[in-house]
A and B are shown apart, each in its own frame.
Chain A
Amino acid sequence: MEMIGLVFIVVIIIIGMVLYLSLSGKDDSGARANRAANAQKSSSFLTAIAETDIVGCGVPLSRVAQACVRREVFCDNGDPCITLERAMTKIANETLYAQGMKYNLSLEGTRVQAESDCDSANLSVSLIAAPRQPIPLGNGQTVDLILSICR
């Protein structure tokens, strides 16, 4: 009889420890708020970078992106896609990379990309849904600038 009681106590203690450990585990309080804040931050990054003037061209990055997609000769007669990628890489390195973030910043449908330790393998587990900044191309079409922050 005592053995049954003892077993009962041990079982309760084990359940209690499991409950305690589960609650003192990963603390996701405010995770939803953090996700909203991160999404807003990523979105503001894209908006700001699209409006940044490119050195030597005097036009915003969004205009260079348009030229890249339309395959126009532009600005310094060079390849606008290369100009675009250089500018994106420079800005992302100084900001996102400097803050310890792993990212992939790309222009949809092109090879233009700036990334840091964020490849297809861990994109699938990205913490933040990738926001997009649409850039108008005319005729109602747009191309998206996409920022993914990775784990």
Chain B
Amino acid sequence: MEPIIIVIVLAIIIGLVLLYYVRINAHEVKTDTANYQAKEDLAMLGRLTTLPELACPRSETVKTYCIDLLKAQAFASMMGDARSGPASKVYYNPVLGATNITLRWYDLAKPPGQMAQQLTIYSNLRDSTRVRTTTTYFTAFEPVNSTRQFAMLIVERQS
């Protein structure tokens, strides 16, 4: 009788130790994953802010992240073009990856609720079920009137 009880107790102790170890390991892996994802988000932000395809003219880029609205529209058209779009996506894939990049800017002259306008600059998300979204605030530069509008850049990437 006693040996069986001892076996049970040992089994429980070993099991608890291993369980604890596995949970710690899983926790560390989750933290690692989250940290690398955050680092990758910053890397993407770095690329987006300096791509000359989107960046504001030099005289306008003062302190903030800035995207030129007309360039963004031209870039989006290039990506969406039936003939050259797929090749363009292949070309920019190493830089922008499997992401959807949307620019949303706000016209303060319009009433609340109608201020926002949106443009999908780049759409290359393959699996829309597991998506991680990051949002960064930008300045959208409108070159006709040389005005700077408040904007958000929404990047959805594969999780």
Task: Consider the complex of A and B and state whether they touch directly, i.e. have CB atoms less than 8 Å apart.
Answer: yes
Q: Does B27 contact A (CB under 8 A)?
A: yes
Q: Which residues of chain A have C-beta atoms less than 8 A from B42's C-beta?
A: 40
Instruction: Check A32–B148 contact: CB distance below 8 A.
Output: no
Residue count of chain B within 8 Å CB distance of chain A:
47
Residues of B within 8 A of A12 (CB): 9, 12-13, 16
Shortest beta-carbon distance from B17 to chain A in Å: 9
With most chain B CB atoms within 10 A of its CB, the pick from A27, A44, A54, A90 is: A44
Asked if A8 contacts B138 (CB within 8 A), the reply is no
Contact status of A30 and B41, CB under 8 A, knowing A5-B9, A47-B137, A91-B106: no
For the complex, give the distance between the alpha carbons of A54 and B30 in Å.
43
Binding site for B on A (CB under 8 A): 2, 5, 8-9, 12-13, 15-16, 19-20, 23-24, 27, 29-30, 32-34, 36-37, 40-41, 44-45, 47-55, 58, 60, 87, 90-91, 93-95, 99
Residues of B within 8 A of A (CB): 1-2, 5, 8-9, 12-13, 15-16, 19-20, 23-24, 27, 30-31, 33-35, 37-39, 41-42, 62-65, 106, 108-109, 112-113, 115-116, 134-139, 147-152
